[in-house]
Structure 1
Amino acid sequence: MAQLRAASTALSSAPPPALDVHRLRWGGAGRPLDLRLLPGEAVAVVAAQDEPESAERARGLLRVLAGAEPALGGLFAVAGRELSGDRAEARWLTGLAGPPPYGTAAWAGDTTLGAALVSHGQLMRLSRGQARDRAAELAFDLELVPLLELGWDELTPGELLRARIALAMLHRPAVLLLDDPAAGLSPQEGEELRALLRMLRDPAGADGGVAVLLTTPDLSSVALLADRAVPLP
């Protein structure tokens, strides 16, 4: 009996899934999605290769989870909070890193990376001081310090991806959302991305083990970056 009580207590004190998706429907043809993502876990949703509609449907899933678009049905929760009807709150509990229009378009042109990080942190409910401290922390962890005075158009593909991840992580989301993150990277940059995501996912790290959901049509990206894969329905 004591063992049963101890097991029950352990289960009740376990943290909720980072992401819990049930019968989620969104734009485009396809079946509903069921998915559970644990803290610190990396899962790839695999789109069909050489099918632009499948790739766009995968991007649509990320936009729904990030609160950028409404779901058409079903439920999803982030860190135990049901968000299907609360797009504003979804923006604070997830971090979407990807090509425009996911946020980096607003920092194009003459804006430096350092200024963009601080400004975006303030948009994500941080005070200016908090935004500067968090930007400095991420710049160090993601090896962006030498790039802070550069503009967006001066960054290589690998540097640009790290900058987008830094933007997405400013407010310490429970789930980091990535759209085909290894596309266009060299083998060395791919390995650097793998190491970076492992660091962010580490429960003993500064971000407490963020979960990662990525979409890709590339099975080599799955093997490089994810713990497991699920097909895009």
Structure 2
Amino acid sequence: MDSSLDSSDSIRTSGLARTFTTPRGPVEAVRGIDLTVRRGEILGFLGPNGAGKTTTLRMLTTLLAPTGGTATVAGHDLARDPRDVRRRTGYVAQSGGVDPAVSVREELVTQGRLYGLRKAEAAARADELAHELGLTGLLDRPCAALSGGQRRRLDIAMALTHRPEVLFLDEPTTGLDPGSRADLWDLVRRIRAEWGTTVFLTTHYLDEADALADRLVVVDRGTVVAEGTPAELKTRYAGSAGATLQDAFLAITGRGPVERDAAPVAV
């Protein structure tokens, strides 16, 4: 696969790989990932535990150096231009990154300052993001007092401070109640619709992938094993577009359920 981007691509990888050295010998966590993500697309990146999802995401966000292959993200080569990749991408880790001791406003302003905004610009950007993400009434509240859903909205606001072209979300709704999950789904859709942001989403919730993603890539044992729209994967592997994505996933990987929710979320 040619690793150069055309005007319709946000991410393209060819043979992307990562091998870890351990006392017991080398471990191939990612064994050659080939994928393309189009501009403005919401891509769901799925796989069982240990399939290589987080390692791939950490490579694409420059947090982990590949040991093989190539990748371009937001128009820049991952190996040659990691600083430009970081300038054009936002990353929301599964564990989040807010300081519980400071206010929402202080977190947002500090993030803006870290991206080079002047103090007045950072304050204005904090107000803008708070308005867009439903945090206006929480700006002076300490982060420790936020609910789980509010904290995730703040995590996403911080990742959007510099108006990234690509937003990476690592299991953004894990641990949230169904109402908060539905709110986050609406927010992700709005970010793509209003800002044209490309969203790269890892999740263990197959109903979430089905509801949000334009297209899915399934990885197992460090390599891509299936890709297509949710309807295509359900038809191809479960026999019907009306089947569940859970059934298709089981047929693709030969493994049990990724995650089942105790309470379903309306889509």
Q: Does 1:78 align with 2:76?
A: no
Residue 68 of structure 1: aligned partner = 63
Residue 218 of structure 2: aligned partner = 231
Residue 217 of structure 1: aligned partner = 204
Tell me if the contact between 2:30 and 2:56 (Cα under 8 Å) persists in the aligned partners: no
Q: Distance in 1 between matches of 2:18 and 2:137?
A: 40
Residue 32 of structure 1: aligned partner = 32
Q: Distance in 1 between matches of 2:140 and 2:94?
A: 21
SS in structure 1 of the partner of residue 40 of structure 2:
coil
Q: Distance in 1 between matches of 2:144 and 2:155?
A: 13
**4+ residue segments displaced more than 4 Å:** none
Q: Does 1:157 align with 2:148?
A: yes
Residue 128 of structure 2: aligned partner = 137
Q: Distance in 2 between matches of 1:128 and 1:74?
A: 41
Provide closer, same or farther for how the CA distance between residues 162 and 109 of structure 1 changes in structure 2, counting only shifts above 3 A: closer
Question: Which one scores higher on RCO, CA 8 angstroms, separation ≥ 6?
Answer: 1
Q: After superposition, what is the alpha-carbon deviation per residue over 1:136-156, rounded to whole angstroms, capped at 9, x for unaligned? A: 111101001111112222111
User: What is the TM-score of this pair, normalised by structure 2?
Assistant: 0.72
Q: Distance in 1 between matches of 2:201 and 2:161?
A: 18
TM-fit CA distance, 1:120: 0.8
> What do you get for the CA RMSD once the two structures are aligned?
1.8
Unaligned stretches of 5+ in structure 2? 1-5, 20-27, 224-267
Unaligned stretches of 5+ in structure 1? 1-13
Q: Distance in 2 between matches of 1:64 and 1:24?
A: 9
TM-fit CA distance, 1:61: 1.9
TM-fit CA distance, 1:192: 1.3
- After TM superposition, the structure 1 = structure 2 runs for residues 100-115 of structure 1, keeping only pairs within 5 Å, are 100=95, 104=97, 107-115=98-106
Provide closer, same or farther for how the CA distance between residues 130 and 15 of structure 1 changes in structure 2, counting only shifts above 3 A: farther
State the AA in 1 paired with 2:13: V
Q: Distance in 1 between matches of 2:125 and 2:117?
A: 9
Q: Distance in 2 between matches of 1:20 and 1:156?
A: 36
User: What is the TM-score of this pair, normalised by structure 1?
Assistant: 0.82
Q: Distance in 1 between matches of 2:59 and 2:30?
A: 15
State the AA in 2 paired with 1:117: L
State the AA in 2 paired with 1:153: A
State the AA in 1 paired with 2:81: D
SS in structure 1 of the partner of residue 66 of structure 2:
coil
Higher helix share: 1
Q: After superposition, what is the alpha-carbon deviation per residue over 1:55-80, rounded to whole angstroms, capped at 9, x for unaligned? A: xx322222221122212222221232
Aligned length: 207
